[in-house]
Amino acid sequence: MAQPHTITHAFWTVVGEGAIGLLSAARLHLAGYPVQLHRRTAGPFDFVFQSAVSSQSLSLPSQIQQPYSSILLPVKAYAVLDAVKQLLPLLSDNAQLVLSHNGMGTIEQLLPLLKPEQGLWFLSTSHGAFKPDHSTVVHSGLGQSVLGALNQAALAQQQSVEQAMQAALGPLVVMADIWPALWQKLAVNAVINPLTALHQCKNGELSNSKYAAAVELLIEEFVLVAKAAGQDFSIEAIQNRVTQVIRQTADNYSSMQQDFAKGRRNELDYITGFLLKQAEQHQLQLPAHQAIYQLLLQKSPR
Ligand code: KPL
């Protein structure tokens, strides 16, 4: 007799207590996944999850099950390397690690640290979430996500990771090659984030004609360096994407604007800084990105 088909969900560990992390953990939990948080303090984390349809009180355990086999790491780019170094002793030999952050430059640092069977993924999401206080997360904007494997070991557990990420941050597009999507997101962040941080304005302000020349130069230089790095975009395609995001997020303050406004550490080195490093490797000059980098560096907290 045929056995009934039972779906066994992997046990997921979500690192940190950031808005996207808690949103993902809540949605995984509500979809029936066993989930724990990895955070500084042990013990259950109680929080309220508010979405457009409901408000629910949830309690998720922290660090109750080891080794970690499936890990979502939605932490800022500058914190990724230290977080992974801390996690390494806790990972199973075939653990699957999903990164999700703005900017680039972390993947190259992490791949050599992993064991041959440990998979690395990247998820880029447009879901909006924020924490009005420490123990509330609001799902403020329905978005979508793209997911891609970054090494061979990821492909061995493709189905299980894709299903879980669909539940956490779907609708999901799985890409055989995630790099063009990462570069396209980098373009958006390399134009909107530094300009809004410098001028302390909302994203929508950038459609004002006084910013048109700066936007155009940043895009032209981006396309130049992306091409040298093997990513061929037309200026028009990037212009369209940047304009679309400015329009769609007109009322938002970018993450970098907020980091500068609050004097917090920021992702400049992983966005503009990453582009400048790429330019140096390919002997290119990016005067507009260089200028905005220097201006923001002077305003960055030491
Ligand atoms: O990703 C963003 C950010 O703020 O970091 C954008 C897309 C620019 C939206 O604000």
Domains and CATH numbers, the chain: 12-176 (3.40.50.720), 180-299 (1.10.1040.10)
> What are 74's two structure tokens?
């939605």
Confirm or reject: Cβ of 98 under 6 Å from ligand 1.
no
- Name the phi and psi angles at 124, rounded to 5: -115, 130
Confirm or reject: Cβ of 245 under 6 Å from ligand 1.
yes
For residue 228, how far is its CA from the centre of ligand 1 (angstroms)?
A: 25
Confirm or reject: Cβ of 193 under 6 Å from ligand 1.
yes
For residue 189, how far is its CA from the centre of ligand 1 (angstroms)?
A: 6
Predicted local confidence at residue 5, as pLDDT:
55
Tabulate helix, strand, coil % of the chain (nearest 5). 45, 20, 30
Predicted local confidence at residue 3, as pLDDT:
53
Closest-lying ligand 1 atom to the alpha carbon of residue 193? 8
β-bridge mates for residue 36, sequence order: 13
For residue 102, how far is its CA from the centre of ligand 1 (angstroms)?
A: 8
Active site residues: 185
Confirm or reject: Cβ of 252 under 6 Å from ligand 1.
yes
Predicted local confidence at residue 8, as pLDDT:
80
Pocket test for ligand 1, best of 20, 102, 123, 267 (most atoms within 8 A of CB): 102
Confirm or reject: Cβ of 266 under 6 Å from ligand 1.
no
Burial class (CB in 10 A: 0-12, 13-18, 19+), 220: middle
> For residues 156 and 161, what is the distance between their CA atoms, to the nearest angstrom?
10
> For residues 220 and 218, what is the distance between their CA atoms, to the nearest angstrom?
6
Whole-angstrom Cα Rg for the chain: 20
For residue 31, how far is its CA from the centre of ligand 1 (angstroms)?
A: 27
Confirm or reject: Cβ of 255 under 6 Å from ligand 1.
yes
For residue 255, how far is its CA from the centre of ligand 1 (angstroms)?
A: 6
Each of the 302 residues of the chain gets a pLDDT tens digit; together they read: 455 555 689 999 999 999 999 999 999 999 999 999 999 998 999 999 999 899 999 999 999 999 999 999 999 999 999 999 999 999 999 999 999 999 999 999 999 999 999 999 999 999 999 999 999 999 998 999 999 999 999 999 999 999 999 999 999 999 999 999 999 999 999 999 999 999 999 999 999 999 999 999 999 999 999 999 999 999 999 999 999 999 999 999 999 999 999 999 999 999 999 999 999 999 999 999 999 999 999 998 86
β-bridge mates for residue 91, sequence order: 68
> For residues 45 and 17, what is the distance between their CA atoms, to the nearest angstrom?
9
Confirm or reject: Cβ of 186 under 6 Å from ligand 1.
no
Rounded to the nearest 10 degrees, what angle do helices 212-228 and 179-199 cross at?
Answer: 150
**Closest of 203, 206, 198, 208 to residue 289, by C-alpha:** 198
> What are 3's two structure tokens?
């056995």
pTM (two decimals): 0.94
β-bridge mates for residue 45, sequence order: 60
* Residue nearest to ligand 1 atom 5, measured at CA: 255
